[in-house]
Structure formats: structure tokens, C-alpha cells
Structure 1
Amino acid sequence: MNASDAWSGTPVLVPAPAPSLELGIPSAWNNGKSCGRLIGEIDLAATPAAVRLARSYVRELVGQHFGADRSELGDLELLTSEAMTNSVLHARPRPDGTITLTVMHLDRYVRVEVTDGGAAPGQPRAPKEPLPVHGRGLLLMKALATDFGTHRSKNGATFWFGVGVREGWRLP
């Protein structure tokens, strides 16, 4: 599988399936969100199944863009899973029922953005447990990401994180 296979509607030698929120719909290629080079962007249905699709999409896209081996992309996949899971579980989807995943290249940095409809109203906090199963996302971000943050716009709320380009990756 390569990055162009990560969503439906991509030109291939056989007719591609119609775009669907289950498979993901490619978004605009240049929406001016950030001052980096857009590698790819995809709209995914705000469902738990989107997490696996997002992880695969980022792995294939970044692997192709930089000529990186799959074994070098583990942190990027883990952080993508965490950001998408948080969005699916704790935020509202955008009005069309989607979450947008954006991948950019900024100098020696890969930036991944997850944009949703913002925090769900009245979201209950998990009870404090002595050995919690959940709630380690920010610890993962602090440990593995070069940087991370959030911003709001008319399109919703965006959580982003960045990972440094590894030695040996081919810079386009």
C-alpha cells in the first residue's frame, strides 16, 4: 500500500470506489493553515475506525515523502493514534461528521494536525483512579513530540504535534 491508496477516489488503473466517510475523503491540497509544505490532508468519519485509517495514512504518506522505513515511523504512528483517539472520544465532529487530518513538512519537522468541531459540551471528567488506564496522552506527547499545541478557528479546534525528521530521511 502506498500513500495514494490510503483514501478512496484516488486515480488507479481500475475504477476506484466512490468516496465515503468510512474510507476517508481527500480534502483540499492547499488550505493555508500553516506555513509549511502540505504533504497531504484527508477527512475521516469521526468514528473509532478513523484512528487506524489515520495511522496508516500518516505512515504511508510520510514514508513515501521522506523515503523513511516503516520501522522509523513508530513514534509518529503512536502520536497520530493518540491525537485521533482523543478527538473521536472527547470532541464533536465538524458539521459534516468528519475530522480532518493534515500532514505538513516544515523544514526538518513533520507536523500532524487533527481538526474537529471542538470540545463536546458538558464532557464529564474521568474519576481519579489510583492506576488509571486513560489519561496518558499528554505524557506521550511531552515524551515523544518535538512540540505540540492547539488552536481554534472558524473551522473548529485543531490539536497539532510535530516530530523531527530523522537522520537518513531523504529531504524532498
Structure 2
Amino acid sequence: MGDGATAPLGEKRTIRLQWAPSAAPRIRREIVADLVARRVTPEVVDEAEIVVSELVANAVRHARPMTDGAIRIHWKVKNNVVEVEVSDGGGPTVPRPSPPTTWGPGGRGLRIVRSLAHEWGVIDDPNGRTVWASLGGPSRRRSH
């Protein structure tokens, strides 16, 4: 069990990737393989793949890397709810969905996230910013 090949339910995963456009496809492969291995439902796996890809692409497009030149992707699974976090070094603007009238190639990422995520939010701290999303059900961040 010590080789990490099988992840017990509820286990958290954290991956640091170099802040670069190649980060999005790499993390998509990682999270899909991990969630499939944990028998997360295919719909939630698909949503997590899209959402994490959008959040990583936004971090690379609009923010700075963390002090070590990386972005951090963290996720956890409990009862078929997947919560993902993408942390970067922060940027000049606050992440928010662009207006629906924007048809350009950029700016749709957070609208996609908002449409798929049960909940999502932004946490700013002195070292950067984390955008999180909960897929498949409510986050356990707040008591409802």
C-alpha cells in the first residue's frame, strides 16, 4: 500500500507543476487517472477534468507563478464529491466570469467553471491566490 498506486477514499493529492501552458494538459491526465482509479462517477470525472484545465489555464494566462516558479493543484475526494484547488502567485485582477457577451477565445473559463461547479470561490492570501471548485455536490468548506 505504500507505493501510492491505490489511493484510499478521502485522500488528498497535491501536484506542483512549472507555470507554463503545458501544465493544463499534464494535470488533466493526472486528475482523470486518479479519479477513475477511485471510482468517481464518469460525469464528475469529466467535470473535474474540464474545471481543473480551465483553472490552470487561467492561472497561467492571468497570474504569476508562485515564488518557486510553479502552480499548485490540490484535490480531494469524499463521497463522489471532488474539490479542486489551483494556487498561483496572484495577479493584477480578481478572477471572475466574463460577461456572456464575450465571444473571444479567452474569458470563458470561469463561466465554464461556474456552470459545472456546485460551488466555487477565490481565496487571496499574502503569497498568492487559490481558486477552488466543488464538483458533484456541496463543498465541506462551509456548514450549510
Aligned to 1:40: 13
Query: Residue in 1 aligned with 2:114?
Result: 142
Q: Deviations over 1:82-103 (max 9, x none)?
A: 0000001110001110000000
Amino acid at match of 2:120: F
Instruction: Give me the TM-score of the superposition, normalised by structure 1.
Output: 0.63
Given that 2:44 and 2:135 are in contact with CA atoms closer than 8 Å, whether structure 1 keeps it comes out as: no
Q: Which amino acid aligns with 2:128?
A: G
Q: Look up the match of 1:62.
A: 35
**Deviation beyond 3 Å, 4+ runs, structure 1:** 68-72
Paired residues in the alignment total 124
Sequence identity of aligned pairs in percent?
A: 29
Aligned match of 1:98: 70
1-structure distance, mates of 2:125, 2:35: 26
- Structure 1 residues 69, 142: CA separation in 2 closer, same or farther (over 3 Å shift)? closer
Larger radius of gyration: 1
- Structure 1 alignment gaps of length 5 or more: 1-10, 13-36, 122-128, 166-172
State the match for 1:53 in structure 2: 26
Q: Does 1:114 align with 2:86?
A: yes
Question: Distance between the aligned counterparts of 1:92 and 1:59, measured in 2?
Answer: 26
Q: CA deviation at 1:71?
A: 6.7
Q: CA 1:97–1:134 in structure 2 vs 1: closer, same or farther (change >3 Å)?
A: same
Q: Secondary structure, in 3 states, of the residue corresponding to 1:73?
A: helix
Q: Do the aligned partners of 1:90 and 1:119 also contact (CA within 8 Å) in 2?
A: yes
Q: Distance in 2 between matches of 1:63 and 1:134?
A: 29
Aligned equivalents of 1:107 and 1:155: distance in 2? 31
1:89 aligns with 2:61: yes
Instruction: Indicate the RMSD between aligned Cα atoms, in angstroms.
Output: 2.6
Aligned mates of 1:71, 1:148 — CA distance in 2: 18
Larger relative contact order (C-alpha < 8 A, sep ≥ 6)? 2
Contact kept, 8 Å, 1:91 with 1:119, in 2: the verdict is yes
TM-score between both structures, scaled by the size of structure 2: 0.74
